[in-house]
Amino acid sequence: MRTSELIKQAYDLAKAQYADLGVDTEEAIRKMKAVNISLHCWQTDDVGGFETPDAALSGGGIQATGNFPGKARNISEVKSDLEKVMSLLPGRQRLNLHAIYGDFQGEKVDRNQIEVKHFQSWIDWCETQEIGMDFNASCFSHTRAADGYTLSSKNEENRQFWVEHVKRCRAISSEAGKQLGSPCVHNTWIPDGSKDTPIDRNGYRALLKKSLDEAFETVYPKEYMKDAVESKLFGIGVESMTVGSHDFYLGYAIKNNILICLDNGHFHPTEQVGDKISAVLQFVDEILLHVTRPIRWDSDHVVTLNEDIQLIASEVMRNDFLDRVNIGLDFFDASINRIGAYVTGTRAAQKAFLIASLEPTNQLKEMEEAGKNFERLALLEELKTMPFGAVWDYYCLQERVPVGTDYISEIQQYENDVLSKR
């Protein structure tokens, strides 16, 4: 374990090195205040939720792999896990809750019956934690989703059931945002699609549009809640057609001026979400990011500091887009300690944003505009080996959270004391 003296010494050297490039490390650290990552409750229990009877994860290609011991079994365990996670992260986060995590008190409450009262204890918890809350309709893991269709279902009863669910989720979101004094982003993702070549692509998409129009009919103040819609390329079992494709939702979001949610596991493997940010922000006010790590497909691996996430963060910071980009995480790995996975993935995302705020963007832009493209390339390469780690460590020290590898033993301790006893 390094002493704080050593961490500061390394930081001072790094600070001088960055200053040499015209980068103010203090300013970069200050910018991190506005990077508020929404923590997805579903990493603690593999997207299970706490409905009665228990809804198992199924359909649409969302699947957590692995069965590492220690999965959260109830709301208080999720809260304890989230508190542990937050204690190991610098800065302030938000909670991202799915509707299946309601506080149902053992009562059977179907998705078309949920109310604010089922989420009041979560809102209260957010208040105590002094964090904002985001929310998600849960249009999966349900008998009415068993045939693979929800909002685009040709079964009118099912379609209406899901419309009602989304309506209620939006009302809950608005109330959460109102109570917490921070707008709640409500995200709609549905698994709807077809394993084999469908005939009526148009029919399903027309139904989805109709359902969204109905579900989004009530307008809530933007200070309370904001709607986002999340597209997907394909899911396991729905390889031939996804009703809510990117074209569909981008069109819907632009037309209705709502948020488009870009999940970086939901595109062709060589497409980069980082490139899409400045494209879609020409046409919508805000976006929501689902930061994840796809391996060959939408596998929701733990986020690591790779080039994809780096481009996403750089594009946000270069353009001062933090007030238009809402950042959420979306990974679920049950094959390793879930809380370790959670913290590692979130810290990786945070590192990407800190690295991005340490970029001498103006200098790079000037080179670009002067046609000095060799110089641009060389500087970008040199930046990769700048002592970013020293700045990150100092930031963690300042924020009074474990520096460097120190959080590993904290996770081991939590595994011994808490997770292994579940």
The residues of the shown chain that bind ligand RNT, judged by CB under 6 A, are: 42, 47, 62, 136, 189, 230, 232, 263, 290, 298, 330
40 is a site residue for Zn ion (CB under 5 A): no
300 is a site residue for Zn ion (CB under 5 A): no
User: CB 92 → ligand RNT: shortest distance, Å?
Assistant: 22
Between residues 189 and 395, which has the closer beta carbon with respect to ligand RNT? Answer: 189
- Indicate if the alpha-carbon torsion angle 56, 60, 62, 68 is positive or negative: positive
User: CB 328 → Zn ion: shortest distance, Å?
Assistant: 8
Cα three-residue angle 228-61-341, rounded to 5 degrees: 80
The residues, ordered by sequence, that sit 6+ positions from 85 with a Cβ below 8 Å of its Cβ are 39, 339, 342, 343, 346
> How many residues in the shown chain lie near Zn ion by CB under 5 A?
3
User: CB 73 → ligand RNT: shortest distance, Å?
Assistant: 18
Between residues 60 and 91, which has the closer beta carbon with respect to ligand RNT? Answer: 60
The H or E element that residue 368 is part of is: helix 361-369
Between residues 85 and 390, which has the closer beta carbon with respect to ligand RNT? Answer: 85
User: Strands, E, within 309-389: which ranges?
Assistant: 325-329
Q: Where does this chain touch Zn ion (CB under 5 A) — which range of 87-95, 171-179, 284-292, 298-306?
A: 284-292
Q: Which residue is nearest to ligand RNT (CB)?
A: 189
With CB under 5 to 8 Å by kind, the binding choice for 298 among Zn ion, ligand RNT, none is ligand RNT
Nearest to 164 by CA among 99, 252, 243, 257: 99
With CB under 5 to 8 Å by kind, the binding choice for 47 among Zn ion, ligand RNT, none is ligand RNT
| Subset of 309-348 contacting Zn ion (CB under 5 A) | 330
User: CB 24 → Zn ion: shortest distance, Å?
Assistant: 35
C-beta of residue 197 within 8 angstroms of C-beta of residue 338: no
Could you give the residue numbers annotated as active site?
189, 230, 232, 263, 266, 290, 298, 300, 330
Please state, as a whole number, how many other Cβ atoms lie within 10 Å of the Cβ of residue 121: 15
User: Tokens 């945002």 label which residue?
Assistant: 177
CA distances from 286 to 54, 229, 249, 279 (A): 35, 12, 14, 12
Between residues 138 and 158, which has the closer beta carbon with respect to ligand RNT? Answer: 138
| Subset of 247-276 contacting Zn ion (CB under 5 A) | 263
**Residue 116 and residue 139: Cα distance in Å, rounded?**
18
User: CB 208 → Zn ion: shortest distance, Å?
Assistant: 17
Between residues 18 and 42, which has the closer beta carbon with respect to ligand RNT? Answer: 42
CA distances from 348 to 145, 326, 341, 345, 396 (A): 34, 17, 11, 5, 13
Can you give the binding site for Zn ion, defined by CB under 5 A? 263, 290, 330
